[in-house]
Amino acid sequence: MSVSRLCTAGIAMARRVRALAGVLLVAVRAEGRRLAVFFAKTYARVVTPSLAELDPVLPAEIAARSPLARSWRSFEHALDLRVRDAALTA
Q: DSSP alpha helices (H): ranges in 20-66?
A: 30-42, 48-53, 60-63
Give CA–CA dist 47/41, Å, rounded.
9
**Domain presence at residue 70:** yes
**Domain presence at residue 28:** no
**Domain presence at residue 7:** no
Domain count, the chain: 1
Q: Residue 31's pLDDT is what?
A: 85
**Domain presence at residue 14:** no
Q: Residue 3's pLDDT is what?
A: 56
Query: What are the residue ranges in the chain where pLDDT is below 50?
Result: none
**Domain presence at residue 37:** no
User: In terms of residue numbers, what domain contains 62?
Assistant: 54-90
